[in-house]
Every structure is written in structure tokens, then in C-alpha cells.
């Protein structure tokens, strides 16, 4: 598929440059990170920061505006922003009354926004978050916190923005936003797949005459595949599932959004709404407001979602408050068609000034032109019995090159049950770690090597992988007393610490179809074999990790994009577990002198 891009490596940075340039009247870019900042903001209020992966435009950057979000932290395509982007974006708009984060409930977003909040709290800034989980197909009601956010984001952001502009406290803004979230239900279907920029294959294959039911925001597969159906039949099924979950009754009032996923026409959305309205009328449910638009997209995916947002008097008051951004407007500002009229009347708007001073060039997530393998130097020939700092540095550089070379393989694995971004995310993170490590020649503290590599990955990758794989190096080394060498026992102890931190962050256990399925048996093998020497320990760890990867084929996923597939994820190996195995394989190859 041909996309209107230049280099795939620069899609997000060039998109951001064009977006800010087009709407510079309203927005500026954060000078250091991919944050979209509203230039003129109300004074003395809770700051609202939204965010998530790019590729869903106009969500999230397009919902920064008057009465909406103050800023958006933007990740790479279909990957959450990293903690540094989240933290720096929030600091740019925080006014002393705290920050509310609103984002879709996905593993990567949850991990990265949690860590971003930790950074802010360390600086004395109060924070809260509301995770949106409106997709009723992605988990049963008794596991509602496992559901993902799709087009319901629009209603929740609208209410959150109004509550912030009303001057409510952080606690009250959070309560109102959670109420809006809990009154929102959605179902989506896909009629054609999306394709990531720079990737040769679509995220999934969809044969002629079939649709994916229960499609997620990132283009991951639906919860089931079914035959093509007429619009009325499909809408009735989607409506019934929403109604069963939301328990709406006659006399209730709702707002309706029929949202296109990227390539669906207004004609099709209107035909779908026609049936939705008939069903609502039949059930005695009043329609307060309706939107037919493509707000929450997945590149050029075909299909749509239906969202019902139940109102009460409190929520109706916030919904009726005016808002405006170039892509979405309600109330008097919608009629005016411009933010300027409101700015002239509203003396409480604050001119944030230009923070960016122009848009700096952005480093691409992964630079295809920077893939030449580094020259690897070992302290001596033959098998290493311990790692000094220089050996550790060269080993991690070797592993980085190995993962970069495996990018297509990891992409293929992830595309089977995910959204296909694991390969580019891992390669990009390893590329950043490699650049950092290449500058650390002469470092004598072996733990500082691991810590620097892990931090470079964590702050650059985004997605769940950034936090998790950054922690694989960082967590075990952080806080350790400086040491010049690393023994087998030291490495085993370091990886045990990393595993504990990863499980504390992600909450995954063995059997959940995550990287933990490879890491848990590997760490156990390291502890059991550490007395046999470094090479024997790493051989045992590599073998255990390989078996863990194979075991993931038997499991349903409990985390990540694949969790909504349930039994349809069985038979596919987990990409994260595969990366763990490759990293351990790289360690063994370096120590054995087979690089």
C-alpha cells in the first residue's frame, strides 16, 4: 500500500511539524518532546493532558483546545508516549492545581503514564488519571478494568475538559471524568485492515466477505471473525451488546457517536446511525446529541464503532459547555466557528507564549540508515568467566545489533495477534541504547552500563515494551554499589531484581502470554546454574527462555493488544517473550565468543 509519506522513520516528526504549522494559531510544539501545547489556556485550573499513540488522528493531538485538553503527549505510531514525554508535556501546562491524565486503557499507556505520574510527584506536582475502557467486547463486565478504550475517548475528554475549565479541584475533576467514563459504552467492527507506515503487510489479513467484530483502536484483531452482513443486521448486533452491558432503560438520554475508523465514508456512518436511531426510539431512549465523524481512527482501516454516552443532569451541564478545536466543537464556539471570538470575550485566557521557538528536528523512532553493526571488542578470546564494564558495554551493543537485525522477524510475530509495532519499538529502543553505550567507553562501573542502556530504552521506546524492556536492564542495576566486574551470581541476582520490578509494574505472571513467560524460567535457570559458571548459566537461561516462548503458543493473552482475542490468540507465540529469548541468546553468544 502506498502512503503519502517520505521516510517511514520520520512519519511522526513530519506529521507533528505539519500539524503544528497548520494550526499554529492554536498550538505550539513542546521544544523537547512530542507534546502538543494549547497556546492560550485558562488560568488557575487543573491541567488536562491526554495522549496515546499517533496514527489515530485527530485523536489525540486534535482534541487539544478551548474546553478540551490543554496538551497531548504523543507517542510513535500505535505506541504510547514514553514517561519523559508525558512528564515534560504535563509540566508545560501545569498551573499549581495538579494534572489530570486521560487516556485509553492499554498496557503500554498504563505503564508509561504511571511512570510519568511518578516523575511528576517526585517534583511535588499532584496528579490523577482516568483510564478509558468503553469497549464492551474486549473483556466481560466483571473485568471492566481490562477493557480497552476506543471512540468513547471523545465523550470522556469533552467532559473532563469542561470540568477542568469550570475550576473544579483535582479530586472533583477526577470524579466527574470517571463518571463520564463509566457511562460510556462502545463496540467497533472492521471491514478492512490498516497498514503501518513502512511495513510491507497489513496488520492482519481479512478475506473477502468477512469482518472483524470487536475491533480495537490500534488495528489489532477483533474478538471474532464473522461473515459480511448488511448494515442493519450488524448495527442491531452491536446495539444489543451495548444495551446488555449498559443497562439503559426507557426515558434515559444518550449522546451517540458513530465513528469511522479511517476509510469509512459519512454515507456509511449515516446509514449505520439510521438503524441506531430506530432502535433507540423503539426502546424509548432519547437522543440528546449525535456525531457522525471519524475522530478516533486506525490509519486507513475500514469499519466503524458505535458509542452511547448516558447523560444525567450533571454530565449534561458539562457536555453543554462550549469547546473548540479545529476538529471538534460544541456550544456557542461551534456556531462561531473560531476560537478567536471566545478569546476576545474571555479575559481569563492566558497567553502561554511560544515555548518551542520553532519546531526542532526530531530524531526518528528507528533510523533505517543507522543499522551498521558495531565492531565488537572482548577483553580476551575464548569463554568469559566474568564481565568487566567494557565487556558488558560491548555485550549490550552486540545485543542491540542483534535485535535491530531481527526487526522484521519480531514485526511478523507481533502482527499475528498484535498491532505489529513490537519489532520497530524494540529496534528503536536498542538503537538509542547503542548510541548511549558507544559514548560510554572507559566507564568502569559495570552496573552503570546496564543502567544507562535501560534508561535509554525506557525514555525512548514508548508502548509497554519501553517500560518493561527498559526495566530488564535498568531495574536490576539501579541502586547497586559500583562494581568493576559482574559474576554469574551477580548477573542472576540482577535479573531477579529486574523480574520483580517488571512484574510489579505490569502485574503479569507466567501463563499470561507475555515476556514474563520467557523471563521467569530464564531467571530460575540462572539461579539454579549460577554456580556452574557464566556460560553454563546463560546456556541454561537461553534454553529455558526458548521453552517459555514455545509455551506462550498454548496460552490466551491476559495483557496487551492480544487479550481481547481470547482463544483466538492460542497457537501464536508472544513477541515480547521472543525478544527476551533473543537477548539471552545474545548474552550467551558474546560470553561464548561466537559473535
User: What cell numbers appear for 515 in the block?
Assistant: 515476556
Report the chain's terminal Cα–Cα distance, integer Å: 37
In sequence order, what are the residues at sequence separation of 6 or more whose Cβ sits closer than 8 angstroms to the Cβ of residue 24? Answer: none
In sequence order, what are the residues at sequence separation of 6 or more whose Cβ sits closer than 8 angstroms to the Cβ of residue 465? Answer: 108, 422, 425, 426, 429, 576, 579
Tell me, yes or no, if 422 is annotated catalytic. no
- Quick one: CA dihedral 424, 428, 433, 438, positive or negative? positive
State phi, psi for 591 to the nearest 5 degrees: -65, -35
Distance CA 149, CA 564 (A): 12
User: What cell numbers appear for 397 in the block?
Assistant: 551493543
CA distances, 521 to each of 106, 418, 536 (Å): 26, 24, 15
Number of Cβ within 10 Å of residue 479's Cβ equals 9
* DSSP class per residue in 423-457: HHHHHHHHHHHHHHHHT-TT---HHHHHHHHHHHH
Residue in 30, 56, 218, 422 annotated catalytic: 218
In sequence order, what are the residues at sequence separation of 6 or more whose Cβ sits closer than 8 angstroms to the Cβ of residue 360? Answer: 31
CB-neighbour burial class of residue 25 (10 A; exposed 0-12, middle 13-18, buried 19+)? exposed
User: What cell numbers appear for 540 in the block?
Assistant: 541454561
User: What cell numbers appear for 341 in the block?
Assistant: 471570538
Catalytic positions: 218
Amino acid at each position: 500500500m502506498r502512503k503519502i509519506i517520505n521516510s517511514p522513520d520520520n512519519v511522526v516528526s513530519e506529521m507533528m511539524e505539519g500539524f503544528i504549522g497548520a494550526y499554529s494559531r492554536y498550538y505550539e510544539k513542546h521544544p523537547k518532546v512530542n507534546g502538543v501545547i494549547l497556546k492560550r489556556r485558562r488560568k488557575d485550573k487543573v491541567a488536562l493532558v491526554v495522549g496515546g499513540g499517533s496514527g489515530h488522528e485527530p485523536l489525540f493531538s486534535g482534541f487539544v483546545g478551548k474546553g478540551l485538553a490543554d496538551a497531548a503527549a504523543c507517542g510513535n505510531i500505535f505506541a504510547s508516549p514514553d514517561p519523559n514525554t508525558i512528564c515534560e508535556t504535563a509540566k508545560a501546562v501545569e498551573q499549581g492545581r495538579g494534572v489530570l491524565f486521560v487516556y485509553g486503557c492499554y498496557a503500554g499507556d498504563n505503564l508509561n503514564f504511571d511512570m510519568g505520574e511518578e516523575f511528576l510527584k517526585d517534583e511535588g506536582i499532584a496528579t490523577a488519571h482516568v483510564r478509558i475502557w468503553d469497549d464492551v467486547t474486549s473483556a466481560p463486565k466483571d473485568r471492566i478494568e481490562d477493557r480497552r478504550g476506543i471512540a468513547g475517548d471523545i465523550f470522556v475528554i469533552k467532559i473532563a475538559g469542561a470540568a477542568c475549565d469550570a475550576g473544579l479541584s483535582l479530586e472533583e475533576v477526577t470524579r466527574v471524568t470517571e463518571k463520564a467514563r463509566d457511562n460510556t459504552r462502545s463496540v467497533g467492527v472492521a471491514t478492512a485492515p490498516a497498514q503501518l507506515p513502512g511495513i510491507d503487510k497489513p496488520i492482519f489479513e481479512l478475506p473477502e466477505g468477512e469482518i472483524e467484530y470487536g475491533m480495537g483502536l490500534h488495528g489489532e484483531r477483533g474478538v471474532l471473525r464473522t461473515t459480511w452482513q448488511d448494515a442493519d443486521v450488524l448495527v442491531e448486533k452491536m446495539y444489543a451488546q451495548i444495551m446488555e452491558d449498559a443497562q439503559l432503560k426507557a426515558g434515559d438520554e444518550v449522546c451517540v457517536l458513530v465513528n469511522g475508523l479511517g476509510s469509512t465514508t459519512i454515507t456509511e456512518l449515516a446509514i449505520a446511525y439510521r438503524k441506531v436511531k430506530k432502535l433507540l426510539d423503539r426502546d424509548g431512549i432519547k437522543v440528546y446529541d449525535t456525531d457522525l465523524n471519524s475522530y478516533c481512527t486506525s490509519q486507513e482501516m475500514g469499519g466503524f464503532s458505535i458509542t452511547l454516552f448516558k447523560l444525567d443532569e450533571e454530565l449534561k451541564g458539562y457536555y453543554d459547555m462550549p469547546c473548540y478545536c479545529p476538529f471538534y466543537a460544541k456550544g456557542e464556539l461551534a456556531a462561531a466557528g473560531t476560537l478567536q471570538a471566545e478569546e476576545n470575550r474571555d479575559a481569563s485566557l492566558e497567553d502561554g507564549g511560544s515555548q518551542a521557538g520553532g519546531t526542532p528536528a526530531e530524531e526518528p523512532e528507528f533510523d533505517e540508515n543507522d543499522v551498521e553493526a558495531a565492531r565488537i571488542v572482548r577483553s580476551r578470546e575464548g569463554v568469559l568467566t566474568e564481565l568487566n564494564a567494557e565487556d558488558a558495554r560491548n555485550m549490550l551493543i552486540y545485543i542491540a545489533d542483534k535485535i535491530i537485525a531481527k526487526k522484521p522477524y519480531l514485526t511478523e510475530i507481533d502482527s499475528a495477534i498484535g498491532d505489529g509495532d513490537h519489532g520497530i519499538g524494540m529496534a528503536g529502543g536498542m538503537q538509542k541504547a547503542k548510541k548511549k553505550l558507544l559514548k560510554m567507553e572507559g566507564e568502569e562501573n559495570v552496573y552503570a552500563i546496564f543502567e544507562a542502556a535501560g534508561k535509554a530504552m525506557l525514555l525512548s521506546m514508548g508502548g509497554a515494551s519501553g517500560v518493561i524492556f527498559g526495566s530488564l536492564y535498568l531495574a536490576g542495576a539501579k541502586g547497586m554499589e559500583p562494581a568493576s566486574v559482574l559474576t554469574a551470581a551477580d548477573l542472576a541476582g540482577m535479573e531477579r531484581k529486574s523480574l520483580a520490578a517488571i512484574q510489579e509494574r505490569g502485574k503479569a505472571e507466567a501463563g499470561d502470554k507475555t515476556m514474563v513467560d520467557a523471563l521467569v524460567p530464564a531467571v530460575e535457570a540462572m539461579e539454579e546454574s549460577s554456580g556452574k559458571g557464566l556460560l553454563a548459566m546463560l546456556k541454561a537461561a537461553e534454553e529455558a527462555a526458548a521453552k517459555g516462548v514455545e509455551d506462550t503458543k498454548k496460552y490466551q493473552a491476559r495483557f496487551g493488544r492480544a487479550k481481547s482475542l481470547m482463544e483466538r490468540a492460542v497457537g501464536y507465540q508472544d513477541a515480547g517473550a521472543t525478544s527476551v529469548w533473543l537477548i539471552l541468546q545474545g548474552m550467551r553468544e558474546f560470553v561464548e565468543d561466537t559473535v
